[in-house]
Chains A and B, each alone.
Chain A
């Protein structure tokens, strides 16, 4: 009889990296359904191409480097879906695929794979595409195939007459990237993630709260602040991108600071920058600050005496 000897504990919780990532994918599904309803079948196609490119890139890289294959942990799927959600529905498919390849290969695998990357892969993928293909990346199309400006662009232009109503913005009847428009669907996903304890409320609430309050302060009206809250990639970014584990602080106090910083930078870019949208740049910048935030927001050990 041979028996296993190992140190305690001898049992493990059922939650694994794969179940967490799968939960994120599930939480992203309402937004996909909404996107297909709003923009049509092509939204699904773009998402599928982006996911396939992400998963395939991870697989081929790991195969080529003789590393253990990790595609079964669903994290590449999450990256693929998130990148697609940050693209206009009219994006050429090869560009969507290229974004995924950059996200997985350069941002994730070159830095050591899951958990080791310092920046959110999907965000960097989006920014690279945005800077490289600014034309196709800003070809906003309204549900009825008419090209249109996004609410943020409208607000930046100062002519509020063509701004959609708050209800339209909440439901997603506006120009924008395919996964970001329907705030309702994203909030359903947010609630799911909270219930499943995949994320905590700290970053999303601090992020969205800061944007709302600062916009109110600077824009002078509740209406304006609400429009800012419901526009662009704010809800998508705050709920799904600023809560990425590896690239954000691990403590709740750190997450509050992270969310505050993201909100502050987003408003600064939206108000004074040359881009109408600032969510992805704000998150990327805060990703870089994360090691410092983590150091400032360490927990206080119970009964610990300062060494």
Chain B
């Protein structure tokens, strides 16, 4: 256990959908499936316009080691393969499928045959599963560990520290057996000696349920952690569960830890058991503009507007719509944006919630420093950024900022500190790269 607790902020929880079991929505008229729903190379389409596809059929293959295949989420006809503008501002290729409404399952789907660890990793690759906590890092890549003795603990992330989101909560309450089955697979195939289910203490039902199912499982334990944002941040979670500090530029594995999202784990078990790749996603639909907040199981690629419509639409005009939670979520420009593999919530806010308070002068109160989980000094970073002092930004270690947003949240002057950190990080990255290249040239 950690000697002390890292800082953070107490955010309002708004977990009003926690008790609402996920409901499956009917197939939408069309789905738009981006080829880039993961970190790494975009997948390469395997189908062409006019092809008939079925649910679970592979429609794009992994284009590199760090990549992920993509599967059809509805049955129907491929209408278009075109570039779409996604919320990050990038253009990525996407396959548009017009649904026939039948949801015919691909006849080739069957549980993978697994005889050894290699088969397991291959199955993970085939499943199209990526980190569902939000990052979208291909799971097969994360679990490809050269030296299995390195792994001291697998931390199953059920913290779900973002306000509103309860999709992981529903995984733990609705499918605890799948979660345990996933954990057993990790024990068997990557030799996980210790598996820790890390859950924030504002989810007593999840904690109880997981404790109940862990009781007779050797090597599995549940850790209840204080509900303090960003408890679910990878570095924070590792420190609070096994007391290890992941150094700058290193991976969790370097300190013997693997962190895997609880819904990702359940999806692995589902694929191994039933052979169903990642084609559906449970998303929390909430926010002040939504009429009936729900947990919805939607086919990947479903336009947001259809998911909101399934929740009976809006009570007032949505002024800000997010992928993910209000602390780290991404605002979207329109409601055509599709549900992606790593989408765990879509939130729509009315005008009052969408409008942020005005920025005023920094009063140097130091709250941004006191609340930074990584002990950074956003106030100093802001001033160094404003005066263009890159050397100072390097010294201030802005590069390790995980963009959790605590500084902006807590700032009484409502300064966009996290935004400045992001801008400064990009500058520092470019600066260090150029410096390295220059040094290499001189040699």
Interface residues of A (CB under 8 A from B): 1, 3-13, 15-17, 19-20, 70, 73, 75, 113-116, 200, 245-246, 249-252, 298-305, 307
Contact = CB atoms under 8 A, between A and B. Distances in A.
Given A3-B334, A6-B331, A10-B329, A115 B248 contact: no
A302 B9 contact: no
A115 B400 contact: no
B441 interface: no
A250 B364 CA distance: 7
A10 B419 CA distance: 11
Interface in B408-442: 408-414, 416, 418-419, 422
Contacts of B317: 1
Contacts of A6: 320, 331, 356
Question: Across chains A and B, which 4 residue pairs bring their CB atoms closest together, nearest first?
Answer: A250-B366, A9-B405, A301-B397, A302-B374
A304 B363 contact: no
Contacts of A7: 331, 416, 418-419, 422
Interface stretch (B168-176, B271-279, B376-384): B376-384
B362 A3 contact: no
B328 A245 contact: no
A114 B365 CA distance: 11
Contacts of B409: 9, 11-13
Contacts of B328: 8-9
B365 A8 contact: no
Interface of B: 6, 9, 11-12, 163, 235, 239, 245-250, 317-322, 326-335, 349, 353-357, 360-366, 369-370, 372-377, 379-380, 394-397, 400, 403, 405, 408-414, 416, 418-419, 422
A249 B366 CA distance: 8
Given A301-B374, A303-B245, A303-B247, A11 B11 contact: yes
Given A8-B418, A10-B326, A307-B395, 4 more contacts: A10-B356, A17-B363, A70-B361, A304-B375
Given A298-B377, A299-B376, A115 B364 contact: yes
Contacts of A116: 361
B354 A4 contact: yes
A12 B361 contact: no
B363 A299 contact: no
19 contacts: A3-B332, A3-B334, A3-B354, A7-B331, A7-B418, A9-B418, A10-B356, A11-B12, A17-B360, A17-B413, A19-B412, A20-B412, A70-B361, A245-B363, A245-B364, A298-B396, A302-B400, A304-B374, A304-B400
A13 B410 contact: yes
Nearest to A9: B405
A4 B376 CA distance: 29
Nearest to B331: A5
Contact of A114 (B245, B361, B375, B418): B361
Contacts of A307: 394-395, 397
Contacts of A300: 375
B362 A12 contact: no
User: Taking each of B322, B355, B405, which has the highest tally of chain A beta carbons within 10 Å of its own beta carbon?
Assistant: B405
Given A12-B357, A12-B414, A302 B375 contact: yes
Contacts of A16: 357, 360, 412-414
User: Taking each of A9, A17, A115, A250, which has the highest tally of chain B beta carbons within 10 Å of its own beta carbon?
Assistant: A9
Given A252-B370, A302-B373, A4 B331 contact: yes
Nearest to A1: B317
A75 to B, nearest CB: 8
A17 B358 CA distance: 12
A201 to B, nearest CB: 13
Contacts of B412: 13, 15-17, 19-20
Contacts of A5: 320, 331-333
Contacts of A12: 356-357, 408-409, 411, 414
A17 B354 CA distance: 21
A1 B318 contact: yes
A47 to B, nearest CB: 23
B186 to A, nearest CB: 25
A303 B319 contact: no
Nearest to A301: B397
B248 A303 contact: yes
A245 B379 CA distance: 12
Contact of B9 (A13, A75, A113): A13
A8 B374 contact: no
Contacts of B403: 8
B323 to A, nearest CB: 10
A4 B317 CA distance: 12
Nearest to B374: A302
B414 to A, nearest CB: 6
